[in-house]
Each structure stands twice: as structure tokens, then as C-alpha cells.
Amino acid sequence: MWLGWTLICVACCSPAAAIEAAIAGADAEAAAAASGPDALWHVLSPELQHSLSGVLMRHSASENLDPEVDALLSHLLHDELDSQQQDFIAEGQQASKEAEEMAKAEEDKRRREHERATARLEEQRRAHEVEREAARVQREAEQKRAQEEALERHRSHEEMLRKNKEFNQQMQERREKSQQKRAALQEQHAKNWERATSMLQQVHEQIEIVTDGWREAPFWDDFFRTSSASGRFSQLGFDHLQPVLAAAAMQPQRRLLVLEPRGATLAERLAEEIRSRTAQQAEAQQYGSEAEGERDFVIEFGLLDAMSMSNVSQGLEVSKLAALKNAASRMAKLVKPGGTWISISAVPPALHVPLLGRLANGMFALPSESEDAAAGTHAIVLPPAAAAQSKTGLRGAAQVADMLLYGSESVHIWAYRMQRLDDSASDLAESSPSPSAPDAGLLDIIRQQRPATRDDL
């Protein structure tokens, strides 16, 4: 017993000393006890073994014990070591039990979560099945409704086709009746117009006899305004004048002037057509407003007709004569030597060329008194325009006036092409003696100016 307390006291001071003391005490008691390891198992009390074990556990970690000492301590602390082993085993078993319980709890938790997830999926599946069933029912209802609507549309289409067919048949019958009626009216109109044409030609001949070849100027002025001649004159375009310009050897670099009486509106349009087709230096002016300077070509539209066939009294014929002379002199200044003056007139060549010859006074080469393009006289025919109507708006009045005036519905005009002679020839012509009473003869020629009649064509 004293050995145990000795070991405890020494162990408190130094573990090594306690071990040596234990060995010494053990040797002393070993002599008195039976020999063998088992004799030392119960030498120390359990309390002393527990205390010594605690001391050794706190201080023996840094000490290097001798194997014999370690064996001796193992025998001395057998009960404590056995108790610790049992405690360790019990703790291991408790830890295993707790681990099993925790694993079981975790497994139960996972199982419950799996069951909840399965329940949610099942609930979602049932909801999806319900939605699919509702969609199927709705789809079937929509298909049925679509089939009914398609049948209704088909019936409506068939009904519309039937009505359209009936309507087309009715319209075809009406169209055929209308065409038959129109054909009958056209045939009747042709017969009536043929009779009217014959009558108008007879009237034309009688009027020509009564007016002494249309020389009654007041009658001519009023009647010409009623006819479509003035409106038809606006149809004149580049295509009508192209043969005239080609015969005059028109070139793109040549200068050209389109001259018209005041109040007319044809020159600008014609000049634009000429610029786009042949001569880029084409200009349009009204008589009296043209600029000075010589040109290669001057196209004059109805200027001499307006002066010679205007409705004036006998006392003013002198002013008409002066106006014509001034116009011819102006043309001589506007057209350079070798250039061309093209005069557009409604007067036939047999009456107009003598007037041009008296007015030109040797400054221009005269055209032929018959229709001869090679000799400078070009005939232009303006066909009747669709739905021609007089200025008064009386339906058919223009056609009747054309028939009475020309003996046909087409308007005939002429383009007189005259080349400007050089200055030496002009001076020689001006210095040649003139016939007696020149103005009186010129006035007679002016009085004869009139549009062409059926006999002139």
C-alpha cells in the first residue's frame, strides 16, 4: 500500500522518478509476492491506477520509456487499461449506434423527401393529363367548328358562283344586245354620214361658186374658226417636219428658230421636240420678240397666213401689205446666206408660191407651185382627231365645217422650203427693174390667199 502512495507522490514531482520508484517498490514486493506478470495486476487499487494513468498520459508523451518499464506499467495498470479499453469499446459502440441512428434519420429524411417529390410529380402528371384532356376536347371542338365553317364557306362560294354565272349570262346577253344595237346604230350612222357627206360636198361646191373660190374673207374667217383646222394645226409635230428637215440637210450643230404669230402656243413644244431629236440649238419665239442674229434654219408657222387672210376692211389692205413685206424682210435678216426658211401654210402651192415669190424678191430660192418635195413643196396631212369638236361645243359642227371647207375630214397644209441666196444674188435681184404697179399685183395675190379646197387636193 505504501508503494502506491509513494508512486503518486513521486509522479507529481517527476514522471521518471515515479517510474523508478515504482520499479523499486515493485522489486521489493515482488520478492514477497509470487513470481509472474499476473501477480502485478491487482497490486495497485483501481483509484490509484486511474490517478497514475492520468499522470502518465499527461507527462509520458515527451518521455522515451524503456520497454521493460512500459511492460511493468502495463501490468501495474492492468485494471485501468482494461477499464479504458472497455470504455473505448463502449464509446465505439455508442458512436456506431449514433452513426446508425443518424444514417437511419438521414435515410428517413431522404425517403420522405423522395415521397414528397414523387407526390408532387404525380400531382403535376395528373394536372398535365387534365390539361391535355381539356386541350383535346377544345381541339376537337375547334376542328368540328372549322369543318362547319368550311362547309358554310363552300356553300357560300357555290352560291356566289351560281349568282356570278347568272349575272355573267345576263351581262353577256345585254352585251350582245348592246353590240347588236351599236352595230345597227353604226351602220345607220355610216349610211347617214354617207348621205350627209354627199350633201356637204354638193354644198361645198355651191358655196365655192357663190363665194368666188372662197375669196369672201369675212365668210372665210368665221367659217375657219368653226372648223377643226385651228385645233388640228396644234397636232403638227416633229414627225411631220422630219422629211422637210432631212431634205434641208439638218445637222445637230445648226442653229434653228421656231417662229409663230403672237398668241400661238405651238413653237415651244415643237422646239423641244427638235432639241431632243436633232438640233440642240433650237429656240422658240413669237414674231416680234425674236433676238437679232442669223440662224441656219427658221421654221415659220402660219405667220404669212395670219397676215394675208386676216379679216380687215378694204381700207386697211395697205397695212396688211406692209406687214407681209416687213415679215419677208425680217426673214431675210434672220436666215443667213445658205440657210433655209421653212414656211408652214394652209394655202395650196398654186396660190401661196406666187405670194412667196413677190415677198422674197429674189432673196430666197422659190419652191415648186405643185406638190414636189424634191423642189421644196412638202404636203402634210393632219388626220381627224378622235372626238373632234368645235369651239362652240356643238357636237359634229367641226366635222361638218371640215367637209364644207375641204371636202373631206382631213386637214391639208404645206411646208415650203426656201434656201437663202447669197448677198450678191440678193443685190442683183433688188437692183432689177420691177413690173409696173407692183403693189396692185401683190394685193391681188394676197386677196387670193385661202385654205385648200377639194379641187386643190
CA 265/CA 268 separation, integer angstroms: 7
Q: Is the pLDDT score of 402 beyond 70?
A: no
Count Cβ atoms below 10 Å from residue 217 Cβ, excluding itself. Answer: 19
The SS3 of residue 432 is coil
φ and ψ at residue 364, rounded to 5 degrees? -130, 150
Tell me what the mean pLDDT of segment 367-395 comes to.
Answer: 74
Residue 74 pLDDT > 90: no
> Would you state the pLDDT for residue 138?
94
Mean of per-residue pLDDT scores for the chain: 78
Residue type at 327 in one-letter notation: A
pLDDT at residue 286 greater than cutoff 60: yes
Instruction: Please give the average per-residue pLDDT across 384-402, as a whole number.
Output: 54
Residue pair 338/251 in contact (Cβ under 8 Å)? The answer is: no
Q: Is the pLDDT confidence value at 438 over 80? A: no
DSSP states of 202-254? HHHHHHHHHTTTTT-HHHHHHHHHHSSHHHHHTT--HHHHHHHHHHTT--TTS
139-149: average pLDDT:
94
Apex 207 CA angle, 206 and 211, nearest 5: 120
pLDDT of residue 431: 47
- Residue 208 pLDDT exceeds 60: no
Strand partners, 342: 299, 417
Tell me, what's the pLDDT at 175?
Answer: 92
10-14, 34-38, 86-90, 320-324: the lowest-pLDDT one: 10-14
Task: Summarize the chain as % helix, strand, coil (round to 5).
Answer: 65, 10, 25
pLDDT at 417: 96
Q: Which are the contacts of 21, defined by CB distance < 8 A and separation ≥ 6?
A: 6, 7, 10
Q: Which residues contact 336 (CB under 8 A, 6 or more apart)?
A: 294, 295, 296, 420
**Length of the chain in residues, anyone?**
457
Which residue has better confidence, 319 or 57? 319
Query: pLDDT tens for residues 26-53?
Result: 454 444 444 455 666 666 777 777 777 7
CB distance 357 to 421 below 8 Å: no
**Quick check: 204 pLDDT over 70?**
no
Measured CA to CA in angstroms, residue 16 lies from 20, 53, 78, 437 at distances of 6, 14, 20, 181
pLDDT confidence of residue 205: 66
- Asked which of 1-10, 161-170, 384-393, 417-426 is least confident by mean pLDDT, the reply is 1-10
Average pLDDT estimate for 241-260:
92
The confidence score (pLDDT) of residue 391 equals 45
pLDDT at 216: 42
The whole-number pLDDT of residue 439 equals: 73
pTM metric for this prediction: 0.50
Task: Give the C-alpha separation, 293 to 298, whole Å.
Answer: 12
pLDDT at residue 223 is higher than 50: no
Counting residues of the chain whose pLDDT is more than 70, the rounded percentage is 70
Query: Residue for cell digits 397666213?
Result: 305
pLDDT on residue 392: 46
pLDDT range class, residue 145, cuts 50, 70, 90? very high
Dist CA 243 CA 254 (whole Å): 17
C-alpha torsion sign, points 77, 82, 88, 91: negative
Is it the case that residue 232 has pLDDT exceeding 80? no
Tell me: pLDDT of 388 over 50: no
Read off the pLDDT band of 64 (50, 70, 90).
low
How does residue 317 score in pLDDT terms, banded at 50, 70 and 90?
A: low
What CA–CA distance (Å, rounded) separates 367 from 373?
9
Question: 83 vs 47, 61, 91, CA distance in Å?
Answer: 12, 21, 12
pLDDT for position 75: 73
pLDDT of the residue at 2? 40
- Reply yes or no on whether the pLDDT at 293 is more than 60: yes
264 pLDDT band (50/70/90 cuts)?
Answer: confident
Which one-letter DSSP state was computed for residue 287?
T
Distance CA 406, CA 421 (A): 35
Tell me what pLDDT residue 177 has: 93
| Residue 114 banded pLDDT, cuts 50, 70, 90 | very high
pLDDT at 410 over 80: no
